[in-house]
Amino acid sequence: MDFQGRHVMVTGGTGALGLAVTGTLLSAGAELHVPYLHAAEAERFPHRAEPRVHLSGPVDLASEAEVVRLYAGVPELWASIHLAGGFATGGIAETDRAALLRQLEMNFVSCYLCCRAAVIAMRAGGGGRIVNVAARPALEPRTGAGMSAYAASKAAVAALTEALGEELAKDGILVNAVAPSILDTPANRAALPKAKHDLWPKVEEVAATIVFLASTENRVTRGAVVPVYGRS
């Protein structure tokens, strides 16, 4: 897959999955735009000295004004990959309105605003690719028991993806999402030390699916929420 000279936005690019995605894109020649919320994220980002990486921050992706400014600084946007989000467990009795709204803002509102800004930019450029990140509970809601606010926010991302896949096809903008199960990361291993880690999908494997969906090689797939479960 050749991204030579193509500008790609990657939200959440400083996270575990983000590092795999940005590394793959850099190897393919992409010009990367990576927003961050906290300065420490930028400081530990291993690609920060790469001349084809443009870090921006702090950026609140749930702020419409800040998202508009972020995308206005990207020339000829080809792809927008939305990895940013947040996870929270808790039964409904323990999850109040504030906690629900935090999950919606972190996972759905940020995704919606970035999709909107990307579409405006891509229409001006004649097309592009958008890739969102849902989650397994978005496709299998019963697995969201004990984390219903998170599951609902990711289900909204999945619904948005399918709706936009239909809405934007005529503009040459293909919109898709991946839906991971629990990813094999050091943090997840520490949280679940007795789990069968070898069954979890690896971040590099999920990144490969994301990068394909964002590439020119993807000519026909739109409105899909692709399960990336590994063997879990």
Task: Return the active site residues.
Answer: 150
Q: Under a CB-based contact definition with an 8 Å cutoff, are residues 77 and 118 in contact?
A: yes
Strands 128-133 and 77-82: parallel
What are the φ/ψ torsions at residue 169 (nearest 5 degrees)?
A: -55, -40
CA of 22: how far to CAs of 9, 126, 208, in Å? 10, 24, 11
Helix (H, G, I), strand (E, B) or coil at 147: coil
Residues 6+ apart with CB under 8 A from 48: 42, 55
Cα separation, 113 vs 49, whole angstroms: 28
